[in-house]
């Protein structure tokens, strides 16, 4: 009677996921059955104990899988956020980490979708790098025109570079080219600054001499 009651309590606790307390009940039933030489009761207690341990392992594996799913989903969310902010490097990093998680989880559908996102980012990065190279060439051409005194042509080149930097949200580079345009505008309007920081020394001397 007591053995059956202990086993029943153990079963209830197992169903609730309270494995430590369930184990106590099964062990207590086993020990009691051993003391009174109840072989059948002892076998039932051992069977219940083994079944509980198996269920406990299954639950632990399921909990671990759910935790991995949450981590993977969070990585995808961070990747999306980085992408929306124009941070392609971190976006790819987060997506790649998420891909590893979903590969381990054997979620082929999400692995495929994330792989497509990564490929898209790779292509966008290549396009961005090409545009940055083009903008750099415009900047160099603008500097050459500026140094030769062809300020109108220099401004055209700087404006082309500015358009690219603005489209790519390159704040630092955009600020730099705007400064160059402001300086060029001051020359075009006939009020050049006394010193131009990024102008070569010989060009500065020539400008100052012409002002005198």
pLDDT, the chain, mean:
87
Let me know whether 138 and 95 are in one domain.
no
For 206, the token pair is: 């020539």
pLDDT digits (tens, 9 = 90+) for 85-97: 888 999 999 999 9
Residue 89 lies in a domain: yes
Say yes or no to pLDDT of 137 above 60: yes
Residue 73 lies in a domain: yes
pLDDT digits (tens, 9 = 90+) for 40-58: 888 888 888 899 898 888 8
With CA atoms as reference, report the closest residue to 63 among 100, 98, 19. 19
Q: d(Cα 26, Cα 19) in Å, to the nearest integer?
A: 10
pLDDT of residue 200: 42
Residue 111 lies in a domain: no
- Rounded mean pLDDT, 98-111: 94
pLDDT of residue 207: 41
Q: d(Cα 50, Cα 69) in Å, to the nearest integer?
A: 29
- Rounded mean pLDDT, 114-135: 95
Residue 112 lies in a domain: no
- Rounded mean pLDDT, 187-206: 55
Residue 26 lies in a domain: yes
Say yes or no to pLDDT of 197 above 70: no
Kindly report the number of other CB atoms within 10 A of residue 30's CB atom: 22
Alpha helices (H) in the chain, listed in sequence order: 2-16, 19-35, 39-84, 88-104, 108-147, 151-167, 171-188, 201-211
With CA atoms as reference, report the closest residue to 147 among 200, 205, 74. 200
Q: d(Cα 89, Cα 124) in Å, to the nearest integer?
A: 11
Let me know whether 84 and 149 are in one domain.
no
Question: How many angstroms separate the Cα of 76 from the Cα of each of 72, 86, 116, 130?
Answer: 6, 15, 13, 27
Q: Which domain holds residue 67?
A: 2-106
Question: How many angstroms separate the Cα of 207 from the Cα of each of 173, 184, 186, 210, 211?
Answer: 26, 13, 13, 5, 6
pLDDT digits (tens, 9 = 90+) for 63-74: 899 999 999 999
pLDDT of residue 192: 58
Let me know whether 80 and 172 are in one domain.
no
Let me know whether 64 and 131 are in one domain.
no
Q: How many domains is the chain partitioned into structurally?
A: 2
* For the chain, percent of residues with pLDDT exceeding 90: 55
């Amino acid at each position: 009677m007591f053995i059956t009651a202990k086993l029943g309590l153990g079963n209830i606790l197992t169903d609730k996921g309270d494995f430590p307390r369930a184990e106590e009940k099964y062990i207590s039933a086993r020990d009691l059955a051993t003391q009174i030489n109840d072989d059948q009761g002892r076998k039932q207690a051992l069977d219940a104990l083994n079944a509980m341990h198996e269920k406990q392992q299954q639950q632990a594996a399921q909990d671990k899988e759910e935790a991995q799913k949450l981590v993977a989903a969070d990585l995808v969310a961070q990747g999306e956020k980085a992408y929306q902010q124009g941070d392609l490097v971190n976006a790819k990093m987060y997506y790649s980490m998420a891909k590893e998680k979903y590969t381990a989880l054997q979620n082929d559908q999400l692995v495929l979708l994330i792989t497509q996102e990564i490929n898209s980012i790779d292509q966008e990065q290549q396009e961005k790098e090409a545009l940055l190279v083009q903008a750099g060439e415009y900047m160099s051409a603008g500097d050459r025109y500026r140094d030769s005194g062809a300020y109108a042509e220099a401004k055209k080149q700087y404006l082309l570079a500015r358009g690219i930097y603005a489209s790519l949200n390159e704040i630092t580079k955009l600020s730099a080219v705007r400064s160059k345009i402001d300086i060029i505008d001051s020359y075009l309007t006939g009020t050049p600054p006394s010193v131009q920081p990024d102008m070569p020394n010989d060009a500065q001397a020539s400008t100052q001499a012409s002002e005198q």
